[in-house]
Amino acid sequence: MTHKSSWVTGFSLFAMFFGAGNVIFPLLVGQYAGQHYVLAILGVLVTAVAVPILCLLSMVMFNADTRSFFNRVGRLPAWSLILLSLVLLGPFFALPRVITVAHGALSYEVFDMPLAVFAFIFCVLTFILTIKNTVFTKVLGYVLTPLLLIFCLALVVFGILTPPEMENIQSKSDGHFLYGLIEGYFTLDAVAALFFAGILIKSVKGILGKSEQDSRHVFKAVLGASFIGGGLLALVYVGLGIVAAKHGQFLYQGNVDASQILTALSYHVFPGGDLLSAGLVFLACLTTALALAALFADFIQEELHARQINISYLYPLGITLFIAFLMSTLGFTGLMSWIGPVIVFCYPLFITLSACNLAYKLWGFTWVKTPMLITLGLMLFFHVL
């Protein structure tokens, strides 16, 4: 793959991972850690950059065959893990999260609308656009990522140049790295990577020549793109974390909600930034919602078809968005308090499975059920007992 093609594929990978919801967590980490931001952001980079790349490469080794990837732990556990991953990516966390982030962005100095009303309108709009599947929404997705990236880079530059000096506002404990690790979990990028692999493989094969379509060349190309895409993610996360750490005093004094943090910082750092960021975040959340709603609705329909139950796609899509609407009314903080512990408990299972499967493909490491059981046992010990 040429140098130019590596950058094209790497940027595509960056675009898959980089969303409006992802921007929130490095900002929250920087705000919390203050002068201790280095350790905290390192934690984010482990679970929000390194681990997703590990999961992506592992699934690529299985040629994005989700069933084969998960079935190594047994058919019933495999189905359970697939369902769990899609539930988290869909109506119970990631989808309602983008709704609350969109509302938070617009409700800060832009307009005041009750979350429930906004969530209902957002879900109806998502339903209509998903059904229509227009070219407009696809083009919007391609255009928004570069715009959001440019905006975040501008926010970093202005934020660093704008006083005041960094202060340690809240946390004086030594748990900053662990805090960053856990916040990185909440991006859900490691789980999403397992479903992005198929898209990336198609993209890579479209660039590679016919003589380079074998799995070895594809893996090598994805590995190169991963360094570029992951590097871009890391740079953005580090920059946002530093800015939030530097202006943490403003955020605490303003009692800024987590979902409003990007818009609030934009308002604080440069004139008109709140309006621009609110618009970009809303559109980015909308395009993300279209993908997440379709992903889970497709899964429901496929499972029903496998059981000889044929229904219109409208029903699973409607159910998906109805659940997302109900969950979104909890608000960003409420959603995190309800689902956050589930993610912290389950995430190591996906990491362990991905690591074992990658080792299996690279070095013939056959163990998978025992490491998964050990991981499950440890999670039960630390979180339940």
Q: State how far the Cα of 206 lies from the Cα of 204, in Å rounded to an integer.
A: 5
Given this model, what pLDDT does residue 347 score? 92
Q: What is the DSSP letter of 65?
A: -
CB atoms within 10 A of CB 333: 13
Q: State how far the Cα of 228 lies from the Cα of 190, in Å rounded to an integer.
A: 17
Q: State how far the Cα of 382 lies from the Cα of 257, in Å rounded to an integer.
A: 29
The label of the residue with tokens 């203050």 reads 34
Q: What is the CA radius of gyration of the chain?
A: 21
Given this model, what pLDDT does residue 4 score? 57
Given this model, what pLDDT does residue 221 score? 85
Q: Domain limits at 298?
A: 3-383
Backbone φ, ψ for residue 133 (5° rounding): 50, 50
Q: State how far the Cα of 92 lies from the Cα of 343, in Å rounded to an integer.
A: 11
The label of the residue with tokens 């796609």 reads 313
Q: Cβ neighbours of residue 244 under 8 Å, at least 6 residues apart?
A: 26, 27, 28, 29, 30, 31, 251, 261, 265
Q: State how far the Cα of 283 lies from the Cα of 167, in Å rounded to an integer.
A: 33
Q: State how far the Cα of 374 lies from the Cα of 263, in Å rounded to an integer.
A: 42
What CATH number did the domain enclosing 98 receive? 1.10.4160.10
237's enclosing H/E stretch is: helix 215-246
Given this model, what pLDDT does residue 135 score? 57
CA distances from 131 to 181, 257, 305 (A): 37, 33, 19
CA distances from 167 to 134, 181, 224, 264, 297 (A): 47, 22, 38, 18, 46
Q: Give how far the C-alpha of residue 187 lies from the chain's centroid of Cα atoms, to the nearest Å.
A: 4
Which residues in the chain land under pLDDT 70?
A: 1-6, 133-141, 165-174, 209-213, 254, 385
208 φ/ψ sector (left φ>0, alpha ψ -120 to 50, else beta): beta
pTM: 0.90
- By the 10 Å C-beta count (0-12 exposed, 13-18 middle, 19+ buried), 306 is classed as exposed
Structural domains of the chain, count: 1
Q: pLDDT tens digits for 205-241?
A: 877 766 566 777 788 888 888 999 999 999 999 999 9
Given this model, what pLDDT does residue 12 score? 80
